[in-house]
Amino acid sequence: MTTSTDRDQQIKKLRELIKDIDYGMFTTVDDDGSLHSYPMSKSGEINSDSILWFFTYAGSHKVTEIEHHKQVNVSFSSPEQQRYVSISGTAELVKDRNKMRELWKPELQTWFSKGLDEPDIALLKVNINQVNYWDSVSSFKPQTISFLTPSRL
């Protein structure tokens, strides 16, 4: 059983691994089983509930894919640091305006020209289940962090 101290340490480690990497490849599963990957900018840090956030358009194809298949993967890489991180979990669409205001950053204006006034803007909430990473500083072999709890099984 994972204690809250262990979990806090795992979240801290994951934050450290991706802190300098703003963009990841967000992968979804389509109805025919094919995988689709989209470059996405993460919004905010991973919180204490092991949740990762992304802004999106609610009407986008990736949202349709998530509505049918909640399993997603987000990968981050920093080749110059020899750091590679693969996050698997489940995703859901969230239209909470307060959460959007909390997570908004000016760089997002590039994709959402009207900012938070964009009519179709929403958030993708990724509940992290497992993290696989290779960080040459830590080890020459891949490492795993599991965030599965009985409530997420």
Please name the fold of domain 4-152: Pnp Oxidase; Chain A (2.30.110)
Task: Report the C-alpha gap between 139 and 153 in whole angstroms.
Answer: 29
Residue 70, SS3?
coil
Beta-carbon contacts of 117 under 8 Å, excluding residues fewer than 6 positions away, are none
Give 74-111 pLDDT, tens digit per residue.
999 988 888 899 999 999 999 999 999 999 999 899 99
Q: Where are the domains of the chain?
A: 4-152
pTM above 0.95, yes or no: no
Give 30-69 pLDDT, tens digit per residue.
999 999 999 999 887 888 888 999 999 999 999 999 999 9
Burial class for 130, CB neighbours closer than 10 Å (0-12, 13-18, 19+) = middle
